[in-house]
Chain A
Amino acid sequence: QQQVKQSPQSLIVQKGGISIINCAYENTAFDYFPWYQQFPGKGPALLIAIRPDVSEKKEGRFTISFNKSAKQFSLHIMDSQPGDSATYFCAASKYLPGGSYIPTFGRGTSLIVHP
């Protein structure tokens, strides 16, 4: 049972275009939604994150849009650059007693930005 569904599995965009990756979740207890970026041979690194009390968060060219009623959130990369070529993971976390936040990851999207 996949708690966080991510699409598309792969995405090819021209330089300067907009990259859009979508995720959907089932568990309404999730209350923290991060996106991680992973370059080949490296570990994932936090890119941007949002909490469900806001509908949008923007950091530079990266924007998260969040739709709580639809249980969906998406990552938009504006003016996509070849250096953005990487694998992107969405995740959803819920608070557990004891102070931990355990994320559940989507299956990832491989983004290629052509020059």
Chain B
Amino acid sequence: QVQLVQSGTEVKKPGTSVKVSCKASGYTFTRYTMHWVRQAPGQSLEWMGWINGGNGMTRYSQKFQGRVTITRDTSASTVYMDLSRLRSEDTAVYYCARIFLYGGNFYFDYWGQGTRVTVSS
């Protein structure tokens, strides 16, 4: 069965960086694209970017361009999301989510359990 297991809770100081991992299992890693979505406390879902598991191509939300880097390690079937220059507004739960792509549409069919990141001085 498909599983996405994320790394644990992080507490960071403003101005530093955080790297969250997402280990995939139960499917062929290189055949799917993985996205990162975050959710601040009491807020909606916010898309951050994606990475193609096969060729490593990435695309980022304009909001996070320059601060976010998404990478993958195919040998470990793991995707990483690195967010730099952290500020208090980055306090959120960060999710990895796999895309099921078909025809002209897609949807998120599997999600990680979420990683809570707190940014506080």
Real binding pair: no
Give the B-binding residues of A (Cβ under 8 A). none
Give the A-binding residues of B (Cβ under 8 A). none
